[in-house]
Copies of this chain bind each other. A is one copy, B any other.
Amino acid sequence: MKKERHPNKAAHTLKSAGISTTQQRLAVLNILQQASRPLSVGDIRKQLDPASSVNKVTVYRIVSLLKKQGIVRDISSASGSLYFEMATSDHPVHPHFNCTGCGTVNCLTPLTFSQARQLLNQPDNFSVDHIEINISGLCNGCLHATKLQNKILKKGHR
Using CB atoms and an 8 Å cutoff, list the residues of chain A in contact with chain B: 63-64, 67-68, 74, 76-78, 80-82, 95, 97, 99-100, 108-109, 112, 115, 118-119, 122-123, 125-140, 143, 156-158
Contacts and interface: CB of A to CB of B under 8 A. Distances in A.
- Copies of this chain present in the complex amount to 2
Most buried by B among A82, A112, A115, A133: A133
Nearest to A131: B135
A74 B67 CA distance: 27
B135 A134 contact: no
Interface majority SS (helix, strand, loop, mixed), chain A: mixed
Contact of A77 (B68, B76, B129, B131): B76
A100 to B, nearest CB: 7
B95 A119 contact: yes
Contacts of A158: 82
Contacts of A119: 95, 115, 133, 135
Contacts of A80: 76, 80-82
B128 A137 contact: yes
A51 B125 CA distance: 38
